[in-house]
Chain A
Amino acid sequence: MKHHKLNRAAFDPDNISPEGSLGLLALGDIGFEAWRKAKGHIRNNENLIDGAKK
């Protein structure tokens, strides 16, 4: 398994993975909300794709 580190990556709202990171959580409200938003977008997109397939 990949060894994850606690990184202090700069906040990049356009490049957030649905997995998130401790770096994002450490940013507090902004990081957390951006992550939730990104998760939501991705989930919506997946639902849309799933819907289209059906």
Chain B
Amino acid sequence: MAQKNKLLLIGWDAADWDIIWPLVNAGKMPALKSLIARGTHGNISTMNPPYSPMLWTSVATGKTPDKHGVLGFIEVTPEGQSVRPVTTLSRKTRALWNIFHNQGMRSNLVGWWPSFPAEPINGYVISDRFQKTHMDPRLQTPMSPKSIHPWDKHEDFRGLRMFPFEITKAHLLPFVPQADKVDQDKHKGLNAIAKIVSENSSLHNAATRLLRTTEWDFMAVYYDMIDHFCHSFMKYHPPKHPGVDAQNHDIFKEAVTGAYLFQDMMLERTLKLVDDQTTIIVMSDHGFESGDKRILNMPKVQAAPSLEHRQFGMFVACGPNIKKNEKVYGLGIIDIGPTVLHHFGLPVGKDMDGHVNLDIFENPKPVQYIDSWDAVSGDFGELDNTQETDAFSDQQTMEQLIELGYVEKLDEKFEVAIRNTRIDLKHNLARVHMGKKDLAAAKEILLALLDEPQAKDYAPFYMDLIGISLKERNFEAALEYLQCVKTSGTEVKYNLDLTEAQILSDIGRPREALVLIEHLLQTDQTGPVWYRYGLLHYQLGALAQAKEAFENAIERDSQIPGYHAALAEVYLQLDDYEEAAEYALTSVELVKYFPKGHLLLGQALEKLGDLENAKVAFEMAAKLKPKEFPQAQQSIENLEQRIDLGIEYEDKVTNKHYDNQIVVVSGLPRSGTSLMMQMMDKAGVVALTDELREADVSNPKGYYEYEPVKALYKDNSWLDKAQNKSVKIVAPLLKYLDNKHRYKIIFMKRDLDEVVQSQQKMLGKSEATFPIKIYNQFQRLLASVAAWQKLAPGIEILYLDYKDVVAQPDKIAEQIQEFVGVPLDQEAMTQVVDPTLYRNKNKNSPQA
């Protein structure tokens, strides 16, 4: 087959732009720099949970782990007698190289995780077992017959395996210049480097041999060097972590940098072995924490080291049809498989979760689809899954996974190890479902795990159930699960204060949450804590404090889009639209699939008068079809009216009638909301009410209430029933309105002194004692309603003063008709008003 469209995919596990950019800018990674200059680069987002075998299989299949079947580092053998590192046989779907095989193309695969046992494809497979050898020079490590395909060529590669004991001072010193100071009885760092460097050299030797001597269309090479160096030495990387002792920091501080430089040297050689017609992709599966979030003492949870994995990895592509010197946004590792298929002009499976990223191509072509590559019959170069597999147990790989901390030392009783593995894999599957927002599926698995009689720790399941409960707005359950974690006896130190603060905040107790976070900040000043602190201040309307907290969060971690979006929102409230646009833009640069960021960007641009780009931003938000979809659509509608009709409106009041709009009567309790409900009802806008609360002396004509409104904060699904009707919702609950509807809110204002006095009277409390605390709370509430409305495109508010309604009902009725946008029975409205009911007047008011 002609090889004019070759593609070389290079995997650098855990490579992270935060480390790369300073090195590239200092000219220390010239090979990668040349690729960046000649191609397209950007962040690539990982998936949950960020375990490498799962992630690299998603790269190769374009599918999430629930579909591809690789759910962890180890698996239970099919006979259920033992556990082993994951194998090719764990994969339930076809990988890129299987599809290429079927299409008559040749692929070379080196070190891919997992690729053992090697599949019989057109081309070569140097599997992820090839490089694994004993540390001890006295022990032989023969190559397994399944570690290379085709096996009859194995002699060509046997001599390319490097052994850890071959590592010399000349290999070690560039990573650890003061290697002679290492007390090797206490610190195993040099042994780790010997193993990592020898294994990666073995793979690089095989890759260069194949690059030099074979014909291929697709080649994929995987290196774990950066990931393994980071797990062992990132804690010593500058800046010095306060918890690391000075001597070890001094000795190992150059190790991580050394790994990146050596990786770049290998890349330089690789680039010399391909022609300029070859498309090259260098990518990682996730990033790696290098700042405050570095973990010194790993908690005892499964795959604990992955807690140091960061959401964003790195991506660089370069080739004849790849855009030059461009940045790509919104790429995910799941998109690589479909994008590679598209590069070769092959259809993408509709059952794939990833999408073709057309943005990287100079001349993008329409994407072609096939229902599923798995449904195509023919030869795909696959293994017979029924073959005997006991031979695939692998001591070296297991030992390394244990050393790295990904796998706990196996229990001497194998049944315990098997049980733990089975439970861990189920938990991983639940987390995959959570990542896909399939909360019901995740919850079902997690609840079943709680019934496991002998799980080693139930707290991780409870923690995930808290997350699900919060998303489902089931706060009672969240609190219950939180209590379960507290009493579970887990050895893992979860940040329960942060979790509790989130729950308190969501159930409308932000002040209690704030106390927790303020306490937490005394010992933990990481990004998530500052972010929560900012959210709480924002919720309480303290914009200056919120701004400072979000700035602190960004200073700790500048790669979290939510932090930038939160700050953009604050700037919008502060009417600083340029800053708002800046931060919103940064948030969508980090993740393209971030609808809220696009929405905020649109709002900022609209305020800046850049209506054209605002519309583009709103359209992008709408296109991503998230929960913000209705808001984006409403923003577009508003904008189009503004452009087409030249409407310059304040407070977004259009006087336009929208299909299925909901008229909400709101205000503080005792501000005339029942009166207004009665007026709307008589006017012809039917009130949604269940009449459960009977009229009394405080409201002789009835309350016009609807019982489900009280639980609006956890269930707003009934709002469909309120379409084309009016409903009374007190001011504190307005923020829980479902943004998919259009609302006309008639907000009743009344002298706050009068409101408070009226409430005191209604509650049978002394009117002589003025409750200043309640008064202040009401003031803050009114401010928060104004702030909330500002960023809600589907909301229009008409503020009416109670005393005006009583004094001039005819004028008010006309105003309401104009606002609601439909003809009303104004006469009936005015007849409802009974001035004798206007009691509790403020004696100091001029009109009293």
Contacts and interface: CB of A to CB of B under 8 A. Distances in A.
Interface of A: 1-6, 8, 17-23, 25-30, 32-33, 36
B209 A25 contact: no
Contact of B159 (A27, A30, A33): A33
Given A6-B261, A28-B266, A29-B212, A1 B178 contact: yes
Nearest to B161: A32
12 contacts: A4-B169, A6-B258, A6-B262, A22-B174, A25-B162, A26-B262, A26-B265, A26-B266, A26-B269, A28-B208, A28-B266, A32-B160
Contact of B265 (A3, A8, A17, A33): A8
B177 interface: yes
B258 A25 contact: no
Given A6-B265, A22-B265, A28 B204 contact: yes
Contacts of A19: 168-170
A20 B170 contact: yes
Contacts of A29: 160, 205-206, 208-209, 212
Interface string B249-262: 00000000010011
B258 to A, nearest CB: 6
B232 interface: no
A2 B169 CA distance: 11
Contacts of B178: 1
Contact of B268 (A2, A8, A25, A36): A8
Given A1-B178, A8-B268, A28-B205, A21 B171 contact: yes
Nearest to B207: A28
Contacts of B201: 25, 32
Given A27-B269, A28-B204, A32-B205, A22 B262 contact: yes
Contacts of A1: 173, 177-180
Given A22-B262, A29-B212, A4 B205 contact: no
A4 B209 contact: no
A26 B30 CA distance: 14
B348 interface: no
Nearest to A2: B173
A52 B205 CA distance: 37
Contact of A17 (B170, B204, B212): B170
Interface in B174-229: 174, 177-180, 197, 201, 204-209, 212
Nearest to B177: A3
A27 to B, nearest CB: 5
Contacts of A33: 159-160
B266 A32 contact: no
Q: A2, A8, A33: which has the most chain B beta carbons within 10 Å?
A: A8
A41 B682 CA distance: 105
A1 B204 CA distance: 29
Given A3-B177, A28-B207, 16 more contacts: A2-B173, A4-B173, A5-B174, A6-B174, A6-B258, A6-B261, A19-B168, A20-B171, A22-B265, A25-B201, A25-B262, A28-B205, A28-B208, A28-B266, A29-B206, A32-B162
Contacts of B207: 28
Nearest to A1: B180
A8 B266 CA distance: 10
Interface residues of B, number: 30
Given A4-B177, A6-B261, A25 B208 contact: no
A13 to B, nearest CB: 15
A48 B551 CA distance: 70
A4 B204 contact: no
Given A4-B173, A6-B258, A32-B162, A25 B168 contact: no
Contact of A4 (B160, B174, B269, B270): B174
A15 to B, nearest CB: 14
A40 B171 CA distance: 18
Nearest to B258: A6
A20 B172 CA distance: 11
Contacts of A25: 162, 171, 197, 201, 204, 262, 266
Nearest to A7: B174
Nearest to A32: B205
Contacts of A5: 174
Nearest to B162: A32
A19 B206 CA distance: 22
A4 to B, nearest CB: 4
Q: A1, A5, A18, A22: which has the most chain B beta carbons within 10 Å?
A: A22
A36 B173 CA distance: 19
Q: A4, A19, A30: which has the most chain B beta carbons within 10 Å?
A: A4
Contacts of B173: 1-4
A3 B171 CA distance: 12
Contact of A22 (B171, B179, B206, B209): B171
Interface in B458-517: none
B698 to A, nearest CB: 81
B125 to A, nearest CB: 17
Contacts of A17: 170
A38 B270 CA distance: 23
Contacts of B209: 28-29
Contacts of B261: 6
A20 B177 CA distance: 16
B167 to A, nearest CB: 9
A2 B176 CA distance: 11
Contacts of B266: 25-26, 28
A6 to B, nearest CB: 4
Contacts of A30: 208, 212
A5 B177 CA distance: 9
A12 B732 CA distance: 77
Interface string B140-178: 000000000000000000011010000011110110011
B205 A20 contact: no
Nearest to A35: B166
A1 B682 CA distance: 93
A23 B265 contact: yes
A23 B266 CA distance: 9
Interface in B244-302: 258, 261-262, 265-266, 268-270
Contacts of A3: 173, 177
Contact of A20 (B160, B168, B268, B270): B168
A8 B206 CA distance: 20
Contacts of A23: 265
